[in-house]
Amino acid sequence: MSIDQTLRLLARSRGLTVADIATAIPRAGVATVSAWMRGEKLPAKEQLDALARTFGVPAGALLAELASTLDPARTKGEHELLAAYRALNARQQGALLEVSRSMAGTAKPRKTR
């Protein structure tokens, strides 16, 4: 989940408005917080820490997807594959994993009932 989606979800679950969040974040007005929640800007480290405290979550939880997107160990194709996988439903994800394991020669034996 992207940081803007995470912020919107946390705000909604905590019943906080953009103005509520802005008052808790140093050097961030309503316009800035709105831009974060629309995905147009990213908060600075100090602001991320304040957001994490405001929502009661670890700062890393706010950045999890961003960090994985910027992971230099992954190729562009790996990033695209991961994005496509996340867009699938659970059944489709299972089928894709089965196909990819089969192609890689690492297929797990099917469980029998």
User: Mind listing the pLDDT tens digit for each residue in 79-93?
Assistant: 788 778 888 899 998
Q: What average pLDDT score do residues 7-18 get?
A: 91
**Domain 3-69 of CATH type 3.90.1150.10:** no
Q: What average pLDDT score do residues 46-72 get?
A: 77
Q: Report the predicted TM-score, pTM, of the whole model to 2 decimal places.
A: 0.57
DSSP assignment of 28-75: --HHHHHHHHTTS----HHHHHHHHHHHTS-HHHHHHHHHHHT-TTS-
Domain residue limits, the chain: 3-69, 73-113
The model's confidence at residue 60, banded by pLDDT at 50, 70 and 90, is: confident
CA gap 65, 75 in Å, rounded = 16
The answer, yes or no, to whether residue 65 has pLDDT greater than 80, is: no
pLDDT at 87: 82
